[in-house]
Structure 1
């Protein structure tokens, strides 16, 4: 347990999160530009969640010795991985259960103060349809793969924080 706690609070753990998310972003851009697979709105939201994971990893890598920065990084990790998982599940639902009444938007609904699709359209402008599944590998669509990937990030987060919580519980002085 001490080894897991030590690793969870190390720079290497946060760097691993950063690099794995960066690799996913590179792969997404390769699919878009190298394989001409147009991302839909749900894909863009998942892409943003991957960027959130990368930012969590960067915050953790730079501030791994600080409880405050680790807490910020863990919160960002949790929000990003759960949010990404939600959109991956929604995407697969749209693909598996097509309906003319259940469609996705043509443009992402970013806040008016942060229109990422206008600032950086090459990364955040959707050009595909959510109901299309143009890429299948191992019998699974990209959305199904992303469910597995985001689930792995959620599981890793739980594995990451439980030893730290257990350590804090055992170190808390008991009232007399």
Structure 2
């Protein structure tokens, strides 16, 4: 694959991350306000990871010409994907009952990053952990988040590998 084709594939990836991230946040807010499924602490943590991906995608799309920034955004993407996967796994484990005592009503965010206080409409936990709503085809939100996290890890590793090969 040529350099131009690799650049287009990473641009496509970050554009896709941006669109999917916005869609995920919108779906979460629809479930919260439209269907009255309040988020738990783990769900809020996942929303923060998704927000991180949205911001990272914007940065990656605006700094495509700089190899150090491409490496930095690739590494950061892998880190965000791993963190989101861990939170998604914990959410799934609580839902299925093989992880206990995973969360309470405290967001655990430090005062210097108090998104739950600054933007409570989006980042304030409403309910204790224990279940996630069903999305489509009997797939729960926790299961869907696991799939999205796995795809994010693979996509981020691909983008990082592509950048390092150039």
After TM superposition, is the score higher than 0.5? yes
Structure 1 residue ranges without an equivalent (≥5): 168-176
Structure 2 residue ranges without an equivalent (≥5): none
Q: CA RMSD in A?
A: 1.9
CA displacement at 1:141 relative to structure 2: 1.3
Max Rg structure:
1
Aligned to 1:140, what secondary structure does the other structure show? coil
1:30-49 paired onto structure 2 within 5 Å: 30-49=30-49
Residue 81 in structure 1 maps to residue 81 in structure 2: yes
Q: Which residue of 2 aligns with 1:160?
A: 159
Is the contact between residue 14 and residue 64 of structure 1 (CA under 8 Å) also seen in structure 2?
A: no
> How far apart, in 1, do the equivalents of 2:118 and 2:165 lie?
44
Return the TM-score normalized by structure 1: 0.84
In the superposition, relative to structure 1, how do residues 13 and 98 fare at CA in structure 2: closer, same or farther (>3 Å)? closer
In the superposition, relative to structure 1, how do residues 16 and 115 fare at CA in structure 2: closer, same or farther (>3 Å)? same
Is the contact between residue 59 and residue 70 of structure 1 (CA under 8 Å) also seen in structure 2?
A: no
Residue 52 in structure 1 maps to residue 52 in structure 2: yes
CA displacement at 1:4 relative to structure 2: 4.8
Q: Which residue of 2 aligns with 1:131?
A: 130
Deviant stretches of 4+, over 3 Å: none
CA displacement at 1:85 relative to structure 2: 0.7
Q: Which residue of 2 aligns with 1:145?
A: 144
